Amino acid sequence: MTTVQWPRAEERTGFPVPRPDEAHWPGLATPPRVPVHAKIAEALFRRAVAPLPVRVVFPDGRVLGAGGKNAPVMRLVRPANVFARLGADVKIGFGEAYMTGDWTTGPGTDLADLLAPFASRMSSLVHPLLQRLRHVVERTQPAHEENSPENSRTNISRHYDLSNELFEQFLDETMTYSSGWFEPGDDLADAQRRKMDGILDLARVGPDMHVLEIGSGWGALAIRAARERGARVTTLTLSTEQQALARQRADEAGVGHLVDVRLQDYRDATGQYDAIVSVEMIEAVGVAYWPTYFRALDTLLAPGGRVGLQAITMAHDRMHATKRSYSWIHKYVFPGGIIPSIRSISDNLAASTELSIVERRDLGPHYAHTLAIWREQFLGNWDRLDGSFDDTFRRMWEFYLAYCEAGFRVGYLGVSQLGLARNPFAGA
């Protein structure tokens, strides 16, 4: 078999292969020593990849997978390291191996295109017998990352306080960090404004209403509610970086007197509001605190009010099977996160509140497109960060954005806008 001659990673991507600094990435540079587990991982990897429409190329030119010549290519640079990382923890090791350059994409292969076939078969890649044993072998989320009042601020800070400048490099002018809603001809900013209007419409936000927002972001939705709808907004965040920039942006938009940006946990909110909005914040609540979150919505919503909720979702059986798992995303991107299912939202509403879902809009493919734009802008503007983050971080965020894009592209993940309300005829 002819050996494939690959150009160096630097020549193909323009970026250096990362060498993780031990001070910033403890334990990452050196792969774990788990020879037995590594052998098992290699056997399982070969079995899982064999039917996929991809080409996995080893250093000696051997090719694994069912993909043709135009299929996306995964290049194993250091196979032994890849299998050692998979053997130590498959849900974390795959992403870590990409972060360290132990595997990469082949020339002309987009990372999301490669990850999509894996995502489309996520539930069947592991043998059913092994899936039944996952509770024995898988790591669970550590107690210090559960979203208690004490831990939530630390979890949020680890992601959202990285720096406002980082997010400015890949978000649009509205600084909105959630799925857009695209119509033909839209750029990303148009899609984000349409998404915000959709949430405000579901909550029936209008002039002179007092609106509560749980999860401020950088203020875009609160500013739009104030400027375009004439509402007064109290918005809650646990990120000091977000609070500072959201306040500044509200002042610059001329609505600082209408937007109160508070560094406050939703569990500490008091009063009643004419409407409540919350966009992609429920993913940071945690299963144990879902009843608390939904009770807060019910308690804080005035009679006759509506809630506009946007939530990333997954199928209920997948959510139930993985709700305690500790994955690469938890370790490196969103500590304490858990994606709900529509059924889990409905069940928690029924058990803990008088609210129910009365309207629903699904935007899954729109999120895949949103993430593709973010990743393109992140990589294109990387040099503007002027060395604030290292190349291991770059590959980590590239993998994160592509990994999520692939999940939405194949329907493993979804995102829904939900209108919540009380039954006005209850007890009639």
Kindly report the backbone phi and psi dihedral angles of residue 109, in degrees, each rounded to the nearest multiple of 5, phi listed first: -95, 125
In a domain, 1, yes or no: no
pLDDT tens by residue, 373-404 = 999 999 999 999 988 899 999 999 999 999 99
On whether both 191 and 95 belong to a single domain, the answer is no
- CA count, 13 A, side-chain hemisphere, 113: 14
Same structural domain, 102 and 176: no
* pLDDT at 182 exceeding the cut of 70: yes
Domains of the chain: total: 2
Question: Which amino acid is located at 370 in the chain?
Answer: T
Say yes or no to pLDDT of 28 above 90.
yes
Q: Average the pLDDT over each of 51-65, 113-127, 329-343 and give the range with the smallest value.
A: 113-127
Q: What is the rounded distance in angstroms from the CA atom of residue 33 to the CA atom of residue 54?
A: 28
Looking at residue 147, its pLDDT comes to 76
Mark whether 291 and 245 lie in a shared domain: yes
Asked whether residue 152 is domain-assigned, the answer is yes
Mean pLDDT of 311-326: 91
> Phi and psi dihedrals of 31, rounded to 5?
-65, 155
Q: Does 270 lie in the same domain as 126?
A: no
Q: How far apart are CA 340 and CA 323, in angstroms?
A: 9
Whether pLDDT at 159 is above 90:
no
Average pLDDT, the chain: 90
Phi-psi region of 169 (alpha: psi -120 to 50; beta: other; left: phi over 0): alpha
| 156 located within any domain | yes
Does residue 104 sit in the same domain as residue 148? no
Domain annotation covers residue 352: yes
Please, what sign has the CA dihedral across residues 415, 335, 197, 167?
negative
Asked if 241 and 351 sit in the same domain, the reply is yes
Q: 19 pLDDT exceeds 80?
A: no
d(CA 345, CA 349): 6
Note whether 178 and 279 are within 8 A (CB).
yes
CATH code of the domain in which 195 resides = 3.40.50.150
CB 92 within 8 A of CB 331: yes
- Mean pLDDT on 189-213: 98
Name residues whose C-beta falls within 8 Å of residue 234's C-beta, 6 or more positions apart in sequence: 210, 211, 212, 213, 260, 262, 273
Distance CA 114, CA 406 (A): 8
CA distance 10 to 348: 50
> Which of 93, 111, 139 is at the close of a domain?
139
pLDDT: which is higher, 161 or 129: 161
In a domain, 2, yes or no: no
User: pLDDT at position 9, please?
Assistant: 45
Per-residue pLDDT, averaged over 91-118, amounts to 96
Q: Same domain, yes or no, for 207 and 263?
A: yes
Examine the domain organization and report whether 157 and 59 are in the same domain: no
Judgement on whether residues 334 and 239 belong to the same structural domain of the protein: yes
**Catalytically annotated residues:** 404
**Could you tell me the pLDDT band of residue 23, with boundaries at 50, 70 and 90?**
confident
Q: Which pLDDT band holds residue 16 (cuts at 50, 70, 90)?
A: low
Query: Quick one: average pLDDT of 72-100?
Result: 96
In this prediction, residue 224 carries a pLDDT of 98
Q: Are residues 80 and 22 located together in one domain of the fold?
A: yes
Same-domain status, 296 and 172: yes
Q: Which of 139, 162, 178 is the last residue of a domain?
A: 139
**How high is the pLDDT of residue 2?**
34
187 and 281 assigned to the same domain? yes
Say how far residue 265 (Cα) sits from the centre of its chain. 21
State the pLDDT at residue 3. Answer: 42
**Residue 277: strand, helix, or coil:** strand
Which own/partner contact pairs does 266-271 have at CB distance under 8 Å and 24+ positions apart?
Answer: 266/214, 266/236, 266/293, 266/296, 267/149, 267/292, 267/296, 268/149, 269/212, 269/214, 269/236, 269/296, 269/300, 270/300, 271/300
- The CA-based angle 172-175-179, given to 5 degrees, is 75
Q: What is the pLDDT of residues 205-242, one digit of tens each?
A: 999 999 999 999 999 999 999 999 999 999 999 999 99
Tell me if 412 sits within 8 A of 122, measured CB to CB: yes
106 pLDDT band, cuts 50/70/90, is very high
In a domain, 428, yes or no: no
Residue 131 domain boundaries: 9-139
Q: Which of 139, 158, 192 is the last residue of a domain?
A: 139
**pLDDT tens-place string over residues 118-149:** 998 865 545 554 444 444 455 676 777 777 77
Asked if residue 219 is part of any domain, the answer here is: yes
| Domain contains 4 | no
Sequence-ordered list of residues with C-beta below 8 angstroms from that of 140, at least 6 positions apart, any chain: 324, 325, 326
